[in-house]
Structure 1
């Protein structure tokens, strides 16, 4: 059940429960109040009616006593006792009968009035039909002849068969009981006193009077007068009185002919008669039931109003909640577009407004997050494509570098072979000018110094290369390491430059040797031949060095292409490695200056042999250095080729990772595309 239905349903239940409780309480309370009031009223009516009946009894007792104290009554009874059936008695009897008839006509509530002698015989009566009848079988006869006034139970008249009540009073003369006077009062005569004894003018209310034996003395239904009461509860009260028990007036509830009754009764002490006032319980509580019906009607009406109010109130509560639920559904369906129709929810100052504002803030954060993710995924995808493109280019450059490195390695091997040949020729030249070398000992010493500086140059070059490699390894990955190592090709160019310098010096020395041989004439022809061969060897070395430079140029061009995509590495090489190589150039210049010093020294001593020996020694040393340099260059080129292969493998891994990143970025883009912002 939705909240929209629960709220009015709950309100209806609460209202109905309250109304039911209120109705029950008011009904019970009203029933109790009216019941108590009715009981009190019934009891009061019973008391008043009992007092009325007591007054009637006292009146009748007084009337019969007054009549019994008349002298004519005493005289009649005295004559009857002394001279019955005498003329005097008959005369008095006739007069008395007439007097009694007049009395009955006067009172109007008496069936007859009679006078009884001590034998229980009626000697005078207002009704001649009773004359001579014996009353010894009547309950009031014996106590009356014993000197006690008596009131009979309800009895049926032997003549008229009407229910009557007999009041008697003893007639005495000088304390001698002569008989008694009795009045037979109609039971119906109480009607004028009791027929209006009703409770609150209820049509079902009435009063009745019964004697201690349960016989009806008076009842609104005349057929019931003189008969035993039909109600067991009432009869039980009469039975108690008949047994001599004391009974006090009270309220009695019973059912008669399936009709609940509320009755009050009161016992009349003089006669033990029971005065009963009764009424239908349904009529007594009719007003309560009417009021209860009105309350129920009002409750139903108020319940309907409450349900309507509850329904309207529930709409007031549930409508924004339903809108919030719709907003949550939109959020759950990844629809984060700003909907203006929901802005009114933010203005609520209750919990609905709090929820709406919280959801609005959440949707705003989600929109910003999706926008950021979209931007980031686009950037990742773009970067992945760029990395993929650069990786392909770098891989191409690495392949070219490896290819050029292999070519360079082959050229270096050819140079090594050439250097070995030059070294062999130098050995022959050394043997030829041995004698001249002895004369140029001083020049040889200087040449040794030059060789030492050249050695330092080589060590400085190696130190610079080592420093460059260490920095290179700490900054970049294997790709950058390989590219950095490929820069060692520059050393080959420098070494090639050194070789060219040496060949130039060798050519210079050969030229000087040729000049000196010309000066020596015939004795210097052999030396001229050697000098010529040395010159040729120097030219071939220059040609080879130029070829090496050409190959190195191609490799450098490939490395330059690779360096264009790795600007940071080029900057490092330009700022560190090339400076070290500049030092090598400076050292080469020093070496050239030293060579000039040797030449000047050799010129000063005019010792062509020593100059030639020094030059040959220098050539030999230079060729050895060239051989070492070429060997180092070959190893460097081989290492470059190996690093280039490693770079190629790493680039493959980078390409694979880049493709994975691009796929992840595409998936992320697909996920983000489901959001509507």
Structure 2
């Protein structure tokens, strides 16, 4: 089976390319390693040879003459001899350049040097060379491991060796640029050899890779053909891949056979589950439809309950308003009863005070009447004697004065008694007049003595009547007033007790109304919460109904998927 996926890289090509790249990498690493090892060995050997040649050449030079050289001594005898000796060294060895240097005035300067270099004696040494020269001045020599290239194209290695005078003192150094072209040529030849060997190994590796890839791809092609056979047999999972051998391709074939067996079991299980799923989907669809219908009924019931709860809430609000009005009326009644109780208490107190006052006045009236009777009797007995007229007259005047005072007190008490004291007020007025007349009469007694006996007799009769009248009318009036005060006190006490019971009843009614009001508030809150709960339930039922509709759509989709799955599974043979 071919797939159009753009440029295709076969497994064989991948194996060949990978093998060639690995071989190139290995050859490159090996070549670089070998080259570095050979390069290091050759350069080390050439450096040692260069240092040895330089040390030998330095021993051939005259150190005493070198110590005489200084700036401006280019044409001196010492410089001429030094140049000749240096020319002999160059002719006997493969040297590109030779020169001497030394310390003058604390600085490194060039000394004897071939004229062709164009550098005079005393010229300062470049800073790049000073480190090596200083090392050579304090040791047996110094050689660089770097291969440099001259302007002429020659390759060289630089070495420095100390020059001694006859006393064995270091007077300068000899610098030699030793030619190593043969070394460079040898290294280049080695590089070429490594490259050629790498190419040969790469070619051999490519050939071996082609052969190995052919064997691997051959087995894979067999597996591919078997898989194509399986595909072309319309899902026949009873087919097997049979490949002889004992390598990874055989393992792949066995794995594919195991996979086919597993797929066969899975498809069989899917077929069984698909049949069950179809039945379950049908049942779920019927259940969903019934549930949706029931949810519609529940939703309508919830709406009716919500309306009923709203009506109940409105009724409760009316009841709460009536309860509040009754509570206010009860509170007003309690205030009125409380005021009545206080007034009854005050009325009872006044009745008690009136009774006590009437009792006191009755006792005083009795005492005054008794005293009056005793005095009258005594005076009457004395008035029988004419000689006692003056004394009796004086006594009568005193009695009249006391009677007048009693009359005044009786008038005051009659005024306090109200309607009951009107008759007593008349009597008190008469007593007052009688007292006045008695006083006038007493005054006339002194002038009219012949009328004394008759007047005394009349006075005795009238006094007796007056005492009887006082005892019968005044004392009885005070007794009636006292009885009235007692009855008034008892009535006020009963009224006070009744009002206290009404006050207690009002308090109980107010407490009951508070309890009823609180209960109505709780009921109203519960009704409101129930209404909200019913509203939430109605919303949830509506949402559930929508979800059930979506669920029915999903069940329908699952039914279609189950049918498609049955169709796909039936394509396989297992």
TM tier, smaller: 0.3 to 0.5
Relative to the length of structure 2, the TM-score reads: 0.36
Larger RCO of the pair (alpha carbons < 8 Å, separation 6+):
2
Higher share in helix: 2
Relative to the length of structure 1, the TM-score reads: 0.31
